[in-house]
Amino acid sequence: MPAKQRGVALMAVLLIFAVLTALAVRMSGNHALLLGQSRNQFESDLALNYALGAEELARQALREDFERTGKDVDHLDETWAQALPPFEVDEGGYIEVQVQEQNGCFNLNMLANEATGDAAYKALGRLLLNLGVAETAADLVRDWVDGNMDAETALGAESPDYQLMDPPYRAADQQMADLSEAWLLASLEPEERAVLMANTCVVPGLTEFSLNANTAPLQVLAAVKDGVDMADLAALEGMVRTFANDGELLNIVPSLSGAEGNLSFESQYFRISVHAQVGQAVTILSSLAYRDPSTGVVTVLQRDFGRDFTSALVIASDEESDQ
C-alpha cells in the first residue's frame, strides 16, 4: 500500500478511535450522573420514611403515656416531654425527634371564640405588655381571627386597612391556620412581631380559652387574669409542675384564684418535630397531633415540611469543657 494511502487509513483509524473515546467518556459521565441521581433519590426517600417512622414512634409514646398515667394530668416530667439525643441510622445518618405539647402555649385562635374570646384578648394584651410589646397587637390579632369584617377597636385593622398595603390583601376573618400569618398583621415592628411569635402558638380548630397550668410558661400564667402576684409565681420557678387539680395549684399561687375556668392540667394537642438525615438528604417534618381525651388515640392533623428545626443537642465548646 502506498505511503499516502497508509496515512489516510491511519487518520481514519485515529478519528474513529477519538469518536469512540468521546462516546465512552460521555456514557461514563451519564452513568455516573444517573447513579448520583438514583443515590440522592434513594437517600431522600429513606430520610422521608425515617421521619414518618419517628413521627409514629412519638405517637406511640403519647398513646402509652395515656394508658400508663391516665388522661387527667400531663406535665413536662413525663416520658414524651424528655429531650432525646439524636440517634444514628445504619445508612450513615441520624434522626432527632421532639414532642412539645400545645395546650400550655398561648394559642392565638383563642381570640376567635365567641364566648371566651374577650377574656383571651385581655390576657393576650397583658402578656404582650409584660413582654414589652404594644398591647395594640392583641387588637390586630382579634380582628384577624374573628368572623366579621368590622374593626373591634380603633387600634385594630380589617380588610380596608390591609387593602392599602403594597401589595394589598384581605384580613383572614377566620382562625389562623399557622403562626406565620402573624407576619401579615399590620403596623407591627419586626421586633414586636418576633416577640409575639416566640411567645404564642396557633392550634387550628382549638379556640377554648384554656391553658395547661403544668406546662404554660410563667409569663403566660401571669397574664391569665388581672392581679396575679409575681411573687407567688416565683415559687414555681424551676419546679416540675405536676398539679392534678385547682386546689394544689392555688395552694402555691393563691392569686390565680378566679382563673380556674381558664386553667386545666391535661393536654390533647402536641407538636411532633423530626429531623432526619441520610447522607446528604435531609427531611424536616413538623406534625400537629391530637390525642383523644377519651380513647387516647393519637391522630395527625397537619404535616408541615417547611418549618425550621432547632436541635436540643448542645455541644460544649473546648473552653466550656475545660472549665
Q: Please choose, from the candidates 150, 135, 141, the residue with its C-alpha nearest in 3D space to the C-alpha of residue 176.
A: 141
pLDDT at 30 over 80: no
Question: Using CA of residue 179, residue 181, residue 187, residue 189, what is the dihedral sign?
Answer: positive
Q: Tell me the C-alpha distance between 267 and 249, whole Å.
A: 17
Shared domain for 73 and 154, answered yes or no, is no
Same domain, 116 and 191: yes
Same domain assignment for residues 147 and 50: no
In this prediction, residue 6 carries a pLDDT of 61
Is residue 172 in some structural domain? yes
Q: What is the mean pLDDT of residues 39-51?
A: 89
Point out which residues pair with 89 in neighbouring strands. 93
Q: Is residue 36 over pLDDT 70?
A: no
pLDDT at 152 over 70: yes
Mean pLDDT of 213-234: 93
Which range, of 82-91, 135-144, 279-288, averages the lowest pLDDT? Answer: 82-91
DSSP bridge pairs for 10: none
Q: 80 with 158, same domain? A: no
90: pLDDT strictly greater than 90:
no
C-alpha cell at 169: 390583601
Residues 179 and 296 both lie in one domain:
no
* pTM, entire model: 0.84
- Domain hosting residue 246, numbered range: 107-200+218-261
What is the chain's mean pLDDT, rounded? Answer: 89
Cell numbers found for residue 46: 429513606
Query: Does residue 119 share a domain with residue 42?
Result: no
**What would the mean pLDDT of 64-90 be, rounded to a whole number?**
89
152 and 279, same structural domain?
Answer: no
In the structure, what pLDDT confidence band is assigned to residue 60 with cuts at 50, 70 and 90? Answer: very high
Confidence band of 32 (pLDDT split at 50, 70, 90):
low
Whether 171 and 124 share a structural domain? yes
Whether residue 238 is predicted with pLDDT greater than 60 in this model: the reply is yes
pLDDT given at position 323: 52
Separation between Cα atoms, residue 297 and residue 65, nearest integer Å? 11
Reported as a pLDDT band with limits 50, 70 and 90, residue 243 is: very high
Q: How confident is the model at residue 21 (pLDDT cuts 50, 70, 90)?
A: confident
What's the Cα-to-Cα distance from 300 to each of 45, 106, 128, 233, 286, rounded to whole Å?
20, 21, 31, 34, 10
Please tell me the predicted confidence (pLDDT) of residue 109: 98
Mean pLDDT for 144-173 is 92
Same domain for 257 and 111 = yes
Domain count, the chain: 2
Alpha helix locations (H) across the chain? 3-69, 117-130, 136-145, 159-162, 190-198, 218-222, 230-234, 246-252, 318-322
Q: What is the pLDDT of residue 139?
A: 95
18 in a structural domain = no
Give pLDDT, residue 42: 82
Question: What is the 8-class DSSP label of residue 109?
Answer: G
The answer to whether residue 122 scores a pLDDT higher than 60 is: yes
117 in a domain, yes or no?
yes
Q: What is residue 319's predicted lDDT score, i.e. its pLDDT?
A: 55
Res. 108: pLDDT tops 80: yes
CATH number at residue 186: 1.10.40.60
Q: Are residues 249 and 183 both part of a single domain?
A: yes
% of the chain beyond a pLDDT of 70: 91
Residue 113: closest CA among 147, 160, 65: 147
Same domain, 242 and 167: yes
Closest by CA position to 182, among listed 199, 169, 168, 196: 196
CATH number of the domain enclosing 90: 3.30.1300.30
